[in-house]
Amino acid sequence: MPLEKSRASSSTKKRVRDAEATKLRILEAAKKEFARNGLEGARVDTIALDAKANKRMLYHYFKSKDGLFRTVLEREYLNIREEETRLDLENLPPRTALETLVRFTWEYYIANPEFITLVNSENLCQAAHIRNSPTLKTISQKFVRRIQSLLDRGVRENIFRDGIDAAQLNITIASINYYYFTNRFTGSVIFERDFTAPEALEERIAFNIETICRLVCKN
């Protein structure tokens, strides 16, 4: 946020003009619109309208539709990694830490359904927006290292199997949770059940925790 300025409390004085607030409103509206309709399906006019901002401001702050998408996506990645960091896996017993991680992923997708659709859009265009993002690479490295050290700790304590690759495990944890949500509409047709019904959700998260524990834990 290079434009950040020192400024008196916003409650004491009503601001008609507020660059930061406008930017945030645009980003929130963009997140919704991009998530709902995809990158190509999203309409900049809709975003501007929903953000109660002029379309010109959108181009002023983010250069282009793609620039806006890039910013939205990067913020979303930062957000999930940040929340993940707060899990404090380091101070939990390995098996509990693993379960916590799986459950966190699951609950994050429920609480942030936009994340999945945004990532899908980014993959449709072959990661064109984040391909060269050093920020993303840095936080991702940190993330993989954390899981690797959890695995190592579990092996030392003779609870986890040896030789499991942290990246593969991460991918698997993400996949069994992610797929269920991203394909919940075709899934509900194919399997003739409501994927978002509370019982269905309960059953699935239990199944997923079982899957990961059987993969990683001894016995």
Residues binding its own copies (CB under 8 A): 37-41, 117, 119-120, 122-124, 126-127, 130-131, 133, 136-137, 140-141, 144, 165, 167-168, 170-172, 174-176, 178-180, 182-193, 203-204, 207-208, 210-211, 214-215
Q: Quick one: which of 19, 92, 125, 201 contacts DNA (CB under 7 A)?
A: 19
Nearer to DNA, 41 or 93 (CB): 41
Please identify which residue in 17, 163, 192, 219 interacts with DNA, judged by CB under 7 A.
Answer: 17
Residue with tokens 């942030």: 112
Q: How far is CA 102 from the centre of its chain?
A: 14
- C-alpha 134/C-alpha 142 separation (Å) is 13
Contact between 43 and DNA by CB under 7 A: the answer reads: yes
Contact between 45 and DNA (CB under 7 A)?
yes
Identity of the residue numbered 112: N
**98, 148 Cβ separation under 8 angstroms:** no
d(CA 121, CA 190): 23
Residues 103/46, Cβ–Cβ less than 8 Å? no
Residues that bind DNA (CB under 7 A): 3, 5, 7, 15-19, 21-22, 42-45, 53-57, 59-60, 64-66
